[in-house]
Structure 1
Amino acid sequence: MAPDVRTQVLPGRVRAGYALGSLVTGAFGTVPGLLLLPYLTDTLGVAAGVAGLLVLAPKAWDVLINPVAGRISDRTRTSMGARRPFLLFGGLALAVLFAAIFAAPNGADSAAYAAVMFLLAATAFAFYQVPYVAMPAEMTDDYAERTRLMSWRVAILAVAILVSGALSPMVTKQFGGGIPGHRAMGIFVAALIVVGTFGSFLGTRGAPVGTVLPSEPSFAVQLRVVRASRPFRLLLICFVVQAAGIATMLAGVSYFATQILDSPDTGATLLFACFVGPALLVMPLWTRVGQRVGKLRAYVSASLLFAAAAGLLAFAPFLPAVVVYVLTGLVGSGYAGQQVFGMAMLPDCIAFDARRTGRRQAGVFTGLWTAGETFGLALGPGIFALLLAAFGYVSSSSGEAAAQSGTAKLGVLLGFTVVPAVVMASALIGLRGYDLDERRLTEGVT
């Protein structure tokens, strides 16, 4: 039995160590969504609709495997704790498999090879991400400390998005583009994943793990308990739908830079820099906003900021480039707040359920959470690919985008701006009735 961690403030080294895991989740969450679809359509010559299915199917697999990973980690007992062994072995496996995704052989089977490697990588990621996301609920029971911990995590996540998302296209170009350039990029991102793996594994050594509670006897019983948690259910629905909107925008970065901004070489990198840079600056501001108005209101405010700025980007063809990049910075600022408060509200739901049931099932909650989030992130490229197909986007096998019609460019514009904005804002409807605040958590289960 580990000591109770109620109201415990975590040391800075533990916050930093845990946050380094965002190098893993950020890199894998960003780069496939950013580059895999263009890799398939503009390098391997796969039709847009088929490419969307190849990107979606391996991620959809996570809907099944993530809850299994959560249940396994809930039942794990080792001298390193229940979760940390999965950080090490899952992260290292993911690094190898990620590099393999973009190491496709030349030939007709290259697309199938990439899809299989993506499926295996998604499986390894599940066994890293699910235990990783479960840890905050067991590291501290302090309501405000969870927000501070998530602020550290999202700050590193922003760095991971910037480094992996902005530099990956540059690495691809530097090594000649096409298949050779993508192979080099795969190795580069795999190295980032290795750094995040060892950082999170070593940095959380000695971190509190809370009171070890018994787990539910069966997976079916665990799922029934999760369904009975209304706050978790409402938060999950909203976050998953928003993940689809975010991923739709992410999938369109390269297309938007090339077709709308007419900047195929540097546009994607600048968009990512403007997306992530302001997010790092506003993180302390979001923390103060959350302390003043509460996590729920801050979450809604951040989501609406994202939606409003994304919607205004629909006027990009008529705006100066500097205005486009400023609006992108506002989108990133909204994204930062949405991530901080969404992930800070999740351990509140888990802790509330543990007090209500007396059972240890953080892994089941985070398994369903990450399965839903991953599925949402997979839907984004699928949605964008369907838009490309519907608006007549022409694929290419030359490593460079083909010339596109005005109709195809309109599809790119809508997929990058209006669609994500509508999805982000409409998802907030799912939060109606969410009432889990600090008072309810501290006064007891009612």
Structure 2
Amino acid sequence: MPERADAGEARHKNEYEAIFRDNPRVPPLILLLFAGGSFGAASFIVAPQLLLLFFMTEQLGIPPVWAGAALFVPKLWELALDPVIGVWSDATSSRWGRRRPFLLAGLVLLPLGLALLFAVPSFAAWPMRLAWVSLAFLVATTGYSLFAVPYVALPGELAPDPVERTRLIACRMVFVALGILAAGAGAPLLIEALGGGRAAYAVTGGIFAVLAGLSLFGSFIAAGHAPIEQGRREKGVLASLPRATLRAVEFRALLVTYGLQMVASGLNAAMLAYAVRYLLHATESLTGLIFGLFTLASLGATPVAAWFGGRIGKRRALVLFSLIYAAGLALFWFSSPAQLGALWLAAALSGVGNAGTQVFAFALLPDVLERERARTGEDRTAAFTGIWTSCEKLGLAAGGAIGGAGLSIAGFVEGASGQNAATQTLIAVLLSLAPAALMLVSLPLLGTVESRHIQRRFA
């Protein structure tokens, strides 16, 4: 088995060096075009997470349990689709190479679905409105998967060495932050500025669809700069993937930990707009301001988190920042019109915790996959990455589905000027205590994950 792994690494090294021998550095324009795709991808993830459940119940009159299901069911489709796309992309041969055909399909479908998502016709019956949103969300999520899975693999094909690859990822993370800030803070402010009704949501969705399409198109152009590499087909990769995932103990533990944390994050985000309206008695602009503070705190804390990780280890740092995140989420419980200070502190502390959980979950992932490849002699990186991305999206959607089901059980009335006391209490619990508990429950599994890093032998 070790000889097989060493032979695979030697072959990969030779191919790697041959591809990049005459292409030592990514031009600045290509770097910006590639990284810009993260703006559209991040804004699509955030906008439904923050706004879609609220839009369906308050603007479309859809019962919350059905609205939550509309958020969750397309993610089940992605759970199956993402690993398939990863394997399919690795095996594709075309005159454009392995990745660009998938990027093109994604940049068509994602903006189309996003534009239709909030532009719902005036159907008389709410099931028809639900069907429209569900279908549009399915189109958009399919487009996102077609784009995102090969996009994650592009840095290794665009960049000739690890230093240059780090430069690509760093630039990409800037656009991720801009996308999160634009969708999380800008979209609610724009909706209120446009009047706050269904037309305002439709215009906002259309604007973000255009921005997403332009950013994804830039990445499609940038991918043309990568050397054209044809795929290699391997039999039985998909069929063996479930068993391989179960046997990959570290990967499985990290995956479940991260998935539970995404459920917590999605539940808090989905309940924020309800808390602003029914607990704080404010307008959509406050939702944007809270999410904006959360995002800025997360950005500011990212280099601090990296500093901590270098001193106490990635796993310990992930536990530490998860506890900070849980404390920030729990603090939302004390938010009220008379105690807005607690609200701002909760948003800032949650943002700091979010920075660390994102940094160290993604920092541990390649280490875990490296050890798994060394253990088995088989490279399933793309397939495992597809499982990871689908779990991330499924967790976020599950948070919204849990929120919708909880509101329905509590007797939530769609579009009402106020809610009963039980519903208000449940909104507070789902906003704060429930996601905080999920963060804590996610931590014990990390005991099976090693925190040391194994260097690549041909780095």
- When the two structures are superposed, what TM-score results if normalisation uses the length of structure 2? 0.85
Aligned to 2:184: 165
With over 3 angstroms needed to count, the CA separation of the structure-2 counterparts of 1:276 and 1:40, relative to structure 1, is same
Separation in 1 of the partners of 2:316 and 2:166?
Answer: 14
Question: Which deviates further from its counterpart, 72-81 or 239-248?
Answer: 72-81
Q: Does 2:302 match 1:288?
A: no
How far off its partner does 1:30 sit? 0.9
Among 103, 110, 123, which residue is 2:119 paired with?
A: 103
Q: Does 2:68 match 1:52?
A: yes
Equivalence map 1:101-250=2 (5 Å):
101-107=117-123, 108=125, 109-135=128-154, 152-206=171-225, 215-250=234-269
The one-character-per-residue Cα deviations of 1:200-245 (angstroms, maximum 9, x if unpaired) are 3344554589998764544112443333322221111111111111
Aligned to 1:362: 381
Separation in 2 of the partners of 1:181 and 1:331?
Answer: 29
With over 3 angstroms needed to count, the CA separation of the structure-2 counterparts of 1:255 and 1:209, relative to structure 1, is farther
Asked if the contact 1:241/1:424 (under 8 Å) is kept, the reply is yes
With over 3 angstroms needed to count, the CA separation of the structure-2 counterparts of 1:156 and 1:78, relative to structure 1, is same
Among 292, 306, 325, which residue is 2:325 paired with?
A: 306
Asked if the contact 2:280/2:337 (under 8 Å) is kept, the reply is no
Aligned to 2:55: 39
How far off its partner does 1:113 sit? 0.9
Separation in 2 of the partners of 1:177 and 1:318?
Answer: 21
Among 323, 326, 333, which residue is 2:352 paired with?
A: 333
Aligned to 1:279: 298
Among 375, 379, 384, which residue is 2:403 paired with?
A: 384
With over 3 angstroms needed to count, the CA separation of the structure-2 counterparts of 1:340 and 1:92, relative to structure 1, is farther
Alignment-mate amino acid for residue 175 of structure 1: L
Question: Which deviates further from its counterpart, 428-437 or 105-114?
Answer: 428-437
With over 3 angstroms needed to count, the CA separation of the structure-2 counterparts of 1:244 and 1:153, relative to structure 1, is farther
Asked if the contact 1:304/1:424 (under 8 Å) is kept, the reply is yes
Alignment-mate amino acid for residue 134 of structure 2: A
Equivalence map 1:245-256=2 (5 Å):
245-256=264-275
With over 3 angstroms needed to count, the CA separation of the structure-2 counterparts of 1:152 and 1:118, relative to structure 1, is same
Question: Which deviates further from its counterpart, 285-294 or 356-365?
Answer: 356-365
- When the two structures are superposed, what TM-score results if normalisation uses the length of structure 1? 0.88
Separation in 1 of the partners of 2:247 and 2:166?
Answer: 25
Greater C-alpha radius of gyration = 2
How far off its partner does 1:345 sit? 2.4
Among 429, 432, 435, which residue is 2:444 paired with?
A: 429
Asked if the contact 2:40/2:216 (under 8 Å) is kept, the reply is yes
Question: Which deviates further from its counterpart, 165-174 or 264-273?
Answer: 165-174
Separation in 2 of the partners of 1:333 and 1:24?
Answer: 23
Q: Does 2:17 match 1:3?
A: yes
Asked if the contact 1:391/1:411 (under 8 Å) is kept, the reply is yes
Aligned to 2:285: 266
Q: Provide structure 1 residue ranges, at least 5 long, that are not aligned to the other structure.
A: none
Separation in 2 of the partners of 1:373 and 1:267?
Answer: 27
Asked if the contact 1:150/1:343 (under 8 Å) is kept, the reply is no
How far off its partner does 1:45 sit? 0.8
Secondary structure, counterpart of 1:104 in structure 2: coil
How far off its partner does 1:306 sit? 0.7
How far off its partner does 1:353 sit? 3.8
Separation in 1 of the partners of 2:387 and 2:149?
Answer: 9
With over 3 angstroms needed to count, the CA separation of the structure-2 counterparts of 1:135 and 1:292, relative to structure 1, is farther
Q: Provide structure 2 residue ranges, at least 5 long, that are not aligned to the other structure.
A: 1-14
Aligned to 1:414: 429
Question: Which deviates further from its counterpart, 347-356 or 52-61?
Answer: 347-356
Secondary structure, counterpart of 1:177 in structure 2: coil
Separation in 2 of the partners of 1:152 and 1:305?
Answer: 27
The one-character-per-residue Cα deviations of 1:36-88 (angstroms, maximum 9, x if unpaired) are 11111111111111211122112222112222212211212345442344233
Alignment-mate amino acid for residue 90 of structure 1: G
Separation in 1 of the partners of 2:228 and 2:216?
Answer: 19
Aligned to 2:103: 87
Separation in 2 of the partners of 1:419 and 1:12?
Answer: 47
* Number of equivalenced pairs: 438
Asked if the contact 2:330/2:436 (under 8 Å) is kept, the reply is yes
Among 11, 15, 29, which residue is 2:45 paired with?
A: 29
Asked if the contact 2:92/2:230 (under 8 Å) is kept, the reply is no
Q: CA RMSD in A?
A: 3.1
How far off its partner does 1:126 sit? 1.4
Separation in 1 of the partners of 2:401 and 2:446?
Answer: 25
Separation in 2 of the partners of 1:207 and 1:437?
Answer: 32
Asked if the contact 1:146/1:344 (under 8 Å) is kept, the reply is no
Separation in 1 of the partners of 2:443 and 2:160?
Answer: 26
